């Protein structure tokens, strides 16, 4: 049997979840037939067959996570399939004589079919399992215990406790990104309120915040950058690729507005609207989710004034906007004024940015947002 292994589905993605099989064991397929839809952290990707032949085995069920480079499909080429058919009569006679009997494993230990199935589902090599049943028979508990031990020594994911279910797809990718951030980033968060009192009625809040980010990036490019912690090196970008965090039932998506400094307000608004629809329908293209240079999280549309937004490497900064509120403030002339305020939270990776750079960046945003346009 030949093995087709899960290819890299883009940008070095380490794993993907089986979303839906489009073939079954026994199917005879042609090259480029869609085998399976795989869900990555970015999108649902259809995987075509690079071969023609007969499907012998599917490695996993919908919901299972397959690592890049691990077996996905077992198959016979057309020639091999023909040879198998010619020999099938002898094989069938042999198979009938052993139906419903425990199988004899390579180490001479008996294994019930149900236990062998469980081992296949969990990816356990039965030749490495020590049986504790009658006469050394391998039991289901032996298989589960072997899986747990392998996970402890190899660092692979453990079986969830009873009552728990693993998070998958976009949520799994978010969890991994948050862990990476916790491990690698040295975060510092600054907060302040932007005075929106001079704004005209109906001003597009998101557009104004984005325009303020552009002004701040041009003034303090250290925050529009990537940082490599292994070599302690950074790359400051001349172009601004703004990732905009968007919440969905499936998890967090961060589509990217590219070359932001060259876009008109109308183009920005149209792209954001397109992103929202594409995220909602899970049709957003993977290339639209790659390589932001700085990120915006508008959590205030739901609730909350301030936060500590999480920087995800290699970026070094993320801006969070909170819920707009009104407050009485003491003006420069001593008068008490009613002001409309937008809370801003700026988190930076202090390995790549100084406190002064972060504070100046935030100051430019405050000044830009205070203007009437």
User: What's the pTM?
Assistant: 0.68
> Is the backbone of residue 172 left (phi > 0), alpha (psi -120 to 50) or beta?
alpha
% of the chain surpassing 70 pLDDT: 86
Place of tokens 């799994």: 172
Using a pLDDT cut of 90, give the percent of the chain over it. Answer: 54
CA–CA distance, 94 with 92 (Å, rounded to integer)? 5
DSSP-assigned letter for residue 250 = T
Alpha carbons 189 and 167: distance in angstroms, whole number? 29
- pLDDT at 128 (0 to 100): 78
Write down the pLDDT at residue 103: 44
If you ran DSSP here, which 8-state letter would residue 312 be given? -
In this predicted model, what pLDDT tens digit does every residue of 205-223 receive, in sequence order? 999 999 999 999 999 999 9
Both structure tokens of 286: 């993977």
The pLDDT, as a whole number, for residue 110 is 58
Cβ-Cβ contacts under 8 Å for 260 (sequence gap 6 or more) = 210, 213, 214, 239, 240, 241, 242, 268
Q: Specify the higher pLDDT residue, 81 or 210.
A: 210
Count the neighbouring beta carbons within 10 Å of the beta carbon of residue 135. Answer: 7
What pLDDT shows up at residue 132? 81
Higher pLDDT, 111 or 2: 2
Q: According to the model, what pLDDT value does residue 93 have? A: 41
pLDDT value, residue 167: 81
Per-residue pLDDT band at 81 (split at 50, 70, 90): low
Query: How does pLDDT run across 132-189, given as a tens digit for each residue?
Result: 877 777 887 787 777 655 554 444 556 778 888 888 778 888 888 888 888 899 999 9
Asked if 290 contacts 310 with a C-beta cutoff of 8 angstroms, the reply is: no
- pLDDT by residue (tens digit) across 102-143? 444 444 445 777 777 777 767 777 877 878 877 777 887 787
pLDDT of residue 239: 97
Strand pairing partners for 233?
228
Domains plus CATH for the chain? 1-99 (2.40.50.100), 100-166 (4.10.320.10), 172-369 (3.30.559.10)
Sign of CA dihedral 133, 134, 135, 140: negative
Instruction: Report whether 256 contacts 224 (CB < 8 A).
Output: no
236-272 residue pLDDT tens: 999 999 999 999 888 889 999 999 999 999 999 999 9
Tell me the per-residue pLDDT of 294-319, one tens digit each, with 9 for 90 and over. Answer: 999 999 999 999 999 999 999 999 99
> What pLDDT shows up at residue 168?
79
Q: Which helix (H) or strand (E) holds 45?
A: strand 44-48
Q: What is the pLDDT of residue 359?
A: 97
Q: What are phi and psi of 143, to 5 degrees?
A: -65, -45
- Contact between 346 and 334 under an 8 Å Cβ cutoff? The reply is no
Measured between its terminal Cα atoms, the distance across the chain in Å is: 68
Instruction: Categorize the per-residue pLDDT at 91 as very low, low, confident or very high, splitting at 50, 70 and 90.
Output: very low
Kindly report, residue by residue over 26-80, the tens digit of the pLDDT. Answer: 999 999 999 999 888 667 888 999 999 999 999 999 888 888 889 999 999 877 6
């Amino acid at each position: 049997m030949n093995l087709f292994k899960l290819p890299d589905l883009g940008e070095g993605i380490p794993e993907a979840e089986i979303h839906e099989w489009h073939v079954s064991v026994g199917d005879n397929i042609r090259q480029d037939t869609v085998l399976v839809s795989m869900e990555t952290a970015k999108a649902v990707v259809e995987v075509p067959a690079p071969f023609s032949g007969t499907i012998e085995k599917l490695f996993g069920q919908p919901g299972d996570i397959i690592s890049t480079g691990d077996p996905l499909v077992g198959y016979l080429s057309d020639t091999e399939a023909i040879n198998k058919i010619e020999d099938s009569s002898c094989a069938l006679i042999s198979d009938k004589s052993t139906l419903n009997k425990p199988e004899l494993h390579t180490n001479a230990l008996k294994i019930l079919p149900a236990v062998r199935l469980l081992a296949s589902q969990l990816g356990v090599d039965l030749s490495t399992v020590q049986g504790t049943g009658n006469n050394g028979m391998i039991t289901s508990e032996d298989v589960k215990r072997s899986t747990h031990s392998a996970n402890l020594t190899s660092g692979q994911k453990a079986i969830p406790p009873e009552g728990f279910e693993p998070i998958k797809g976009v949520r799994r990718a978010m969890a991994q990104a948050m862990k990476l951030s916790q491990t690698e980033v040295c975060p510092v968060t600054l907060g302040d309120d932007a005075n929106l009192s001079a704004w005209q009625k109906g001003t597009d809040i998101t557009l104004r915040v984005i325009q303020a980010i552009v002004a701040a990036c041009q003034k303090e490019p250290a925050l529009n950058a990537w940082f490599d912690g292994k070599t302690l090196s950074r790359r400051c970008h001349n172009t601004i690729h703004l990732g905009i965090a968007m919440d969905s039932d499936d998890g967090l998506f961060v589509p990217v507005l590219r070359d932001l400094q060259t876009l008109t307000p109308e183009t920005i608004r149209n792209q954001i609207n397109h992103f929202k629809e594409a995220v909602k329908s899970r049709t957003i293209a993977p290339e639209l989710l790659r390589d932001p240079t700085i990120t915006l999280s508008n959590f205030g549309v739901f609730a909350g004034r301030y936060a500590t937004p999480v920087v995800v490497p290699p970026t070094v900064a993320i801006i969070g906007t909170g819920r707009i509120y009104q407050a009485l403030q003491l003006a420069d002339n001593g008068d008490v004024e009613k002001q409309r305020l937008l809370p801003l939270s700026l988190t930076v990776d202090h390995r790549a940015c100084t406190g002064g750079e972060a504070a100046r960046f935030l100051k430019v945003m405050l000044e830009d947002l205070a203007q009437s346009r």
